[in-house]
Each structure stands twice: as structure tokens, then as C-alpha cells.
Structure 1
């Protein structure tokens, strides 16, 4: 299943002129579930230097997350009239429990194992978390995950090639 997702994205990136392949990595890293970790991996597997692929993937993921946080924040403000308390639905119960237990840093750093950063960040803002804290911790998380997977991909390419 993973190859069905990665192969077309890698082909897309490889099909771009070499000078624009970093932009392709940034674009695909903005896609939820691809994120900085698969974006940096795809960039490295495409042949980009990890020092280009990883930052491009991080930037693409961060930009899409900031847009989602901004939209979620505006939506929450409209729905609650600026109130800090709102009603919660049952479908985010698992994420809400994690949020209550670990806070913004914990959900940001570990949430990517369950859901994309865009979804977890929007949910945290919906729960009433401070938008700046969500953006800060999501940037830390996106960077850590992107660097880790980019390094693993680079190590794998070096080992095999």
C-alpha cells in the first residue's frame, strides 16, 4: 500500500527539472499523511541531496499546517464567538484524551504516529489550545520527524548505493 502512494509522488518529483525538484518535495510534503517524513524520504530517494530534500519537505509541511491552524482558529472563533470553551464531539475523543494528558508538546511530537500534523493541529486549536503554541510545537515536531526520516533514507541510500 505504501508503494502505491510513494511511487507516483516520487515519479512526479523525478519528472520535474532538477532545479525545481525541491519545489516538488515541498508540494508533496504539504499533503496530509505524506508530511515532512515521507516528503524528505521521497526527496532523498529521488536523488536530491538530503540538505535540500529535508528542508524542502519541512517547509512544505509547515506551510500547510500553518494555513490549517489559521483556518481552524478562525472557524473556532466564528463558532464560539471568541469564547475559550466550546462543545466537543465524540469523534475526537482519543485525541482529546491525549491532549488532556500530554498537552500541546506531547500531542505535537507523538501525534504524527496517529494522524497528520494538519489534523492534530486543527483539533488542538478546536480544543482551545493557543495557536502560537500549536504552531511552535508542530514546527518542532515536523522538523524532528523530517530530519529523522531524511537521515534514515540517506543512510539507506548510502548503504545500498
Structure 2
């Protein structure tokens, strides 16, 4: 899958490859980390690839957060809470243990930021706190993977 996404990015005219990385960053499970990585490996400067992947991921995450907030608001209006599925119960337990910052920063190891952020808002966390911590997480993960890709490309060039 990563090969086809890299081929997609490389197939775009050089002036538009950053747009391809923005689109990659918006895809759940690709996000800022793999978007940054793919952009750098495809030949984009890390100074272009990382911010482009971050922008795509943030835009996508915001759509999920605002949608989840609206759905939660409409669904909980004058209603009692429904029992959680085992998977959501496990996610809620982690949310209660680590809070919004912990789930935002570490949640991307398990689920995409879009799903994690929507779930946290669905549990009743402050929409603004979720957005704040998710943006920080997206930036950090994008930078880490962009740097790893840059170091890998440099090391491969030396062999």
C-alpha cells in the first residue's frame, strides 16, 4: 500500500506533489506520520512534506471532531447513555486513565487520530481540548517520521 501511495505522489508534477502529500495525510492510518515519510521518500524536501502531511491530517481530524461533536450533541439530547460495546469500553477506560493529552499523544499507536479524536469527543471530552492535543500529537508524529525518512534517504544514498 505504501508503495502505491508513494507512486501516486511521485506521479504528480513536482509543483503539485505537496498537494498529494496533503491528501495522503488526510487518510486515516496514513496520517501525518506516513504522509511525511512517503513525501520525503518520494523526493520532496522534509520542509515541504512534513507540513503538507500535517495540514492534511489536521483538516481530516477536524472534520471528524466537529462531526462527532454534532452527532453526540444530537444523540444525547434528553436521552440516557447506552451501554458501550467492549471495544468502546476499553477505549473509554484508557481515556479515563490517561486523559485527553495521553490518549491524543499515544492513541496514534493503536488507532488513527481521526477515530481517536471522534471517540474522545463522543465520551464527552471538551472539543477544544481534543483539537489542541490532537494537533500537537499530529505535529510531533509527523516530524518524527519525517526526520526518520530523511535519515533513511540520506543513509541509503551513502551505500
Q: TM-score, normalised by structure 1?
A: 0.94
1:61-80 per-residue CA deviation (whole Å, 9 max, x = no partner) reads 00000000000000001101
Where structure 1 has 5 or more consecutive residues not aligned to the other structure, the ranges are: none
Q: Does 1:127 align with 2:123?
A: yes
Residue 94 of structure 1 corresponds to 90
- Cα deviation for residue 115 of structure 1 reads 0.2
The number of residues matched between the two structures is 156
Q: Could you say what secondary structure the match of 2:82 adopts?
A: coil
Where structure 2 has 5 or more consecutive residues not aligned to the other structure, the ranges are: none
Report if aligned partners of 1:86, 1:127 keep a CA contact under 8 Å in 2. no
- Which of 13, 17, 21 is the equivalent residue of 1:17? 13
Residue 111 of structure 1 corresponds to 107
Residue 157 of structure 1 corresponds to 153
CA distance in 2, matches of 1:62, 1:106: 18
> Judging changes above 3 Å, is the alpha-carbon distance between structure 1 residues 23 and 137 closer, same or farther for their aligned structure 2 residues?
same
Q: Does 1:140 align with 2:111?
A: no
Q: TM-score, normalised by structure 2?
A: 0.95
Report if aligned partners of 1:23, 1:56 keep a CA contact under 8 Å in 2. yes
